[in-house]
Amino acid sequence: MEIEVKSNTEKPIEATELKRLYSEAGWWENRKEEDIENILEHAIFVGAWSGDFLIGFARAVSDGKFRAYIEDVVLHTEFQKSGIGTEIVSRLLKELSHIDVISLFCEEDLIPFYERNKFKYSKSQFVMHKK
């Protein structure tokens, strides 16, 4: 089956679909559908589709000009290491091409994936969290 990667302006994603994908990936078990709806209303995102089945997702939050931050790059386990993750990130970067700086943080084992997608590891900046 053909995989299609589409932006949120081309094909919207329902909160139930994204919740199912998060669940399949073992992510965000406590997130409620209404909270996911809010995420989808306030983000730039792309989805990967196998027919009508959502198999991948990535979103960004942005000020619309200077900065964007990529979040929640997730792919159904059956489709990992197939090139679809790269296609999702590439499509999201195309949607963000007007932004000056695009950032993300990831687990250490994903650094090579993001380096292949033209991100650079920065030793000069540190991730800090409150909570």
DSSP state of 51: T
75 with 58: CB under 8 angstroms?
A: no
Model confidence band, residue 130 (pLDDT cutoffs 50, 70, 90) = confident
| Widest CA span in the chain | 43
d(C-alpha 49, C-alpha 58), whole Å = 12
42 with 61: CB under 8 angstroms?
A: yes
| Predicted confidence (pLDDT) at residue 127 exceeds the cutoff of 80 | no
pLDDT tens digits, one per residue of 50-103: 999 999 999 999 999 999 999 999 999 999 888 999 999 999 999 999 999 999
pTM score? 0.88
